[in-house]
Amino acid sequence: MLKPGDAAPDFEVPNADLEIIQLSDFKGTSGLVLYFYPKDDTPGCIIESIEFSDLEEEFEELGYPVLGISRDDCESHGNFRDKHGLSVRLLADVEGVMCEAYGVWREKEAHGVVRAGILRSTFVIDKEGAVTHALYDVKPKGHAVKVLELIKADA
């Protein structure tokens, strides 16, 4: 698990529009919010993504663009974004490389069945590329507001 002060693992993955996004795109110019969510178009993920989208302008004004990450592909992300009017950029970590690097790929139990999946988690990264907040196993409702408050408190 990552903790505050750790260097954020680098990444290079496509977004819903097939543009390659990498951590170095943000280093030296802005901070970054990365939120990992289990699956496009599922109830908790809809709530979380809409809340981050609704607050995106406030995050941007503070210098913290928001990126959502799951293992869904670019087409799924595009459909999810368009269906729910999302404005945050969604990254496709199809191979799970980012999920492994950020420590969010875990075994989870649901209804007596154990399987691997994404542990809903959020990371705030400063403009030097260091993790300032590592929030694991978060609840979707109200989470975006809590992250925004953490960034404001750090300012």
Condensed to tens digits (0 to 9), the pLDDT of residues 7-58 reads 999 999 999 999 999 999 998 888 999 999 999 999 999 999 999 999 999 9
Alpha carbons 57 and 63: distance in angstroms, whole number: 10
Tokens of 97: 């490389």
Q: Which residues are catalytic?
A: 45
Domains, the chain, with CATH or none: 12-18+29-154 (3.40.30.10)
pTM given for the model:
0.93
Residue with tokens 């990498």: 22
Q: Are 53 and 148 a contacting pair, CB within 8 Å? A: no
Please report which residue ranges of the chain form alpha helices under DSSP H: 43-54, 56-61, 74-84, 97-101, 143-154
Query: Sorting pLDDT into bands at 50, 70 and 90, what band is 112?
Result: confident
